[in-house]
Amino acid sequence: MGTLSKEARPAATHVRPFLLSPRGLALLGVQTFFALATPLFGATVWTLGKAGAVLKALANGRITGPLLAPFLDLTADFVTYNRGIFATVFVAPASIAWDAVEALRDWMFDLQMPPVGDATLRKQIHAARVANVQRQIRELVTAGATRLCTARPGFLAMSMKAGIYKKHWGGVEVHALRDIIEIDEEREVVRVEPGCNMGRLSRELIKKGWSLQVLPELDDLTVGGLINGFGIETSSHKYGLFQHTCTAFEIVLPNGDVVYCDKDHEPDLFATIPWSHGTIGFLVAAEIKLIRAKPYVQIEYIPCHTQQECVEVFERASRDNGNDFVEELMYSKEMGVVMIGKLASSVPKGATLNVLSRWYKPWFFTHVASFLKRPAGAPHAVEYLPLRDYYHRHTRSIFWEIQDIVPSGNSWWYRYFIAWIGTPKISILKMTTTGKLKVLWETKHVAQDLLVPISTLKESLDLFHDELEVYPLWLCPMRMLSPPKNLLAERGEAPAVAVLNSDEPAYPPQEVTTPTGSLTPPPPAEQLFVDVGAYGVPKSQKFHYERSLQVIEKFVRGVQGYQALYADTMMSRGEFREMFDHQLYDKVRERFNCGERLPEIWDKVNKNARA
């Protein structure tokens, strides 16, 4: 037998250097880790699952015993009333282990792939994953599933609530689609799968000198959730919501067909996917606009000591296109700090650099509050944050929710000696929520984002104070943009132009023709909205978890605002349809035969659909 010619052995000559390269060795190491750890991990999950089922049965009284019942009560009480200790000793280390495994998995994927610029192999893998979603849908339908939803377990979602329907409807696994498919530097877009989260995306993009126009705050927020739900960040005064920065979607319809849509191709579908909560189809890829990143953000902190000043300074900053980021934290009805951020290439000599991600740094909202103590007339404080630290500035304190979970978490001794353990993940906190805690959470706590026109900000602040009195209150400006031009032409309307500071020649107004779907485009004068975010334990004597929310929802409907649907909604179906324009949505659902198989949004987000 003759030997193979040199040309006939390309694979062998290719593989040897790769295996011996640092990349090859790293890949071998990670694969070995997963090969060994997977059965161990599976066995642990299985054991924990069984133990959980036994505990649940015990707690429900199906297995009782004179010794066990008091023990279980004590354990539940400990987890409920000593949440800080439990979160520090169990949840935080478990969160680190979880993040580490996920990071290793992502690293393994990237090691096997060519760089994201060279997308051929990534596209092939993505296509195989999409085919798998199609196959699942067709099999579920053939097997008689009447309703479909994503199979992503409820505890993984950021929303504090999980859909009860997940237990009964046919689940389609889309969470394996979690990678970046391509960064197209020429067109300045990234094509990404829906399960990719903001932590991963920001790390990958910033490394390459890019960022998203709107990069929402928490690491675990996913592209799919931010599009089908909603997504906002402090650059939304310029670019609109997360959905407005998307240029195309790839959807698997309830009959298993795949459709690509953008503003020219299937524009109705493109316009109605945002806020649709998976009730039109399953998102399997999105194309999102990029901007050039800079390594730092310069932040100017402007303390305000009257409500009028809080509103005026915030509105002025939000209308100025020269500001890359604008946000305000209100600490009482009258006091707040407006923050104006600008991307910066370097930290000037003598300026303050605040590396906020260091574990011993105070929670960001407490740091911001400290600027209220500056003497009147003192120059505004200015500091620089590394870009990623800025994007994820509220991640470590989960905005300010952490203060109710780990009350000592901001004391010096906790920060220096314990905080390095890490931040508890929302998913694990949700998994370990006891029944008592759920009731407390539901009746004594709010987490709501309401989007209102900026002209109603003062009125909104008064109402929030009256009904809730939750501080800090998050104010984030956002622009409500027009639907695609071709849809507008059908309605005989012209596209709205972002009304920004026209005196600033470096930042010309942008004509924006991205989808709004269920959100009625307002007249240009009312384009600027504010997300008023209330997270925490209300102190208002008037607060009642159902009545107060109904009062606020009625107000928001009255000013043609919107409620973010990750949170509880008390609205009836009729009220919900009044808030969200269903005209195009109904037309699209009918066209694609969504019918019963994908129920309406309200069926998924109303209070009774979630636990």
The footprint of ligand FAD on residues 126-185 (CB under 6 A) is: 150, 152, 157-160, 174
183 vs 470: CA distance, rounded Å: 41
**Closer residue to ligand FAD in complex, CB, 226/570:** 226
Per CB under 6 A, 224 contacts ligand FAD: yes
Q: Name residue, tokens 């620089």.
A: 384
The footprint of ligand FAD on residues 399-438 (CB under 6 A) is: 401, 426
Q: Residue 194's beta-bridge partner residues?
A: none
Number of residues that bind ligand FAD (CB under 6 A): 31
**Closer residue to ligand FAD in complex, CB, 174/451:** 174
Shortest gap between Cβ of 216 and ligand FAD (angstroms)? 4
Dihedral sign from CA coordinates of 558, 559, 565, 567: negative
The footprint of ligand FAD on residues 190-219 (CB under 6 A) is: 194, 216-218
Q: Among residues 94, 221, 579, 584, which is the contact residue for ligand FAD, using CB under 6 A?
A: 221
The footprint of ligand FAD on residues 265-294 (CB under 6 A) is: 277-278, 282-283
Half-sphere exposure of 498 toward its Cβ, with a 13 Å CA cutoff?
Answer: 22
Q: Among residues 92, 94, 226, 302, which is the contact residue for ligand FAD, using CB under 6 A?
A: 226
Helix axes 68-81, 435-444, angle to 10 degrees: 40
Q: Give first-to-last CA distance, the chain, whole Å.
A: 70
**What is the b/e burial string over 467-488, where b = at least 16 CB atoms within 10 angstroms of the residue's CB?**
bbbbbbbbbbbbbbbbbbbebb
Stretch that binds ligand FAD, among 20-28, 227-235, 376-384, 578-586 (CB under 6 A): 227-235
The footprint of ligand FAD on residues 548-567 (CB under 6 A) is: 566
496 vs 493: CA distance, rounded Å: 9
Per CB under 6 A, 222 contacts ligand FAD: yes
Rounded alpha-carbon distances, angstroms, from residue 51 to 60, 86, 516:
14, 18, 47
The footprint of ligand FAD on residues 457-516 (CB under 6 A) is: none
**Which residues touch 410 (CB under 8 Å, ≥6 apart)?**
362, 363, 366, 397, 403
Site string for ligand FAD, 346-385 (x = CB under 6 A): ----------------------------------------
* Long-range CB contacts for residues 98-104, cutoff 8 Å, separation at least 24: 98/425, 98/427, 98/428, 99/422, 99/425, 101/37, 101/41, 104/30, 104/33, 104/34
Rounded alpha-carbon distances, angstroms, from residue 384 to 298, 299, 323, 329:
4, 6, 15, 18
Structure tokens at 225: 């959730």
Per CB under 6 A, 240 contacts ligand FAD: no
Structure tokens at 601: 């949004």
Shortest gap between Cβ of 155 and ligand FAD (angstroms)? 10
The footprint of ligand FAD on residues 585-604 (CB under 6 A) is: 604
Structure tokens at 406: 């780990």
**Closer residue to ligand FAD in complex, CB, 259/347:** 259
**Closer residue to ligand FAD in complex, CB, 159/321:** 159
Shortest gap between Cβ of 347 and ligand FAD (angstroms)? 26
The footprint of ligand FAD on residues 40-99 (CB under 6 A) is: none
Q: Name residue, tokens 């090691």.
A: 111
**Closer residue to ligand FAD in complex, CB, 84/171:** 171
CA of residue 37 relative to chain centroid, distance: 30
Q: Which residues bind ligand FAD (CB under 6 A)?
A: 150, 152, 157-160, 174, 194, 216-218, 221-222, 224-226, 228-232, 277-278, 282-283, 398, 401, 426, 447, 566, 604
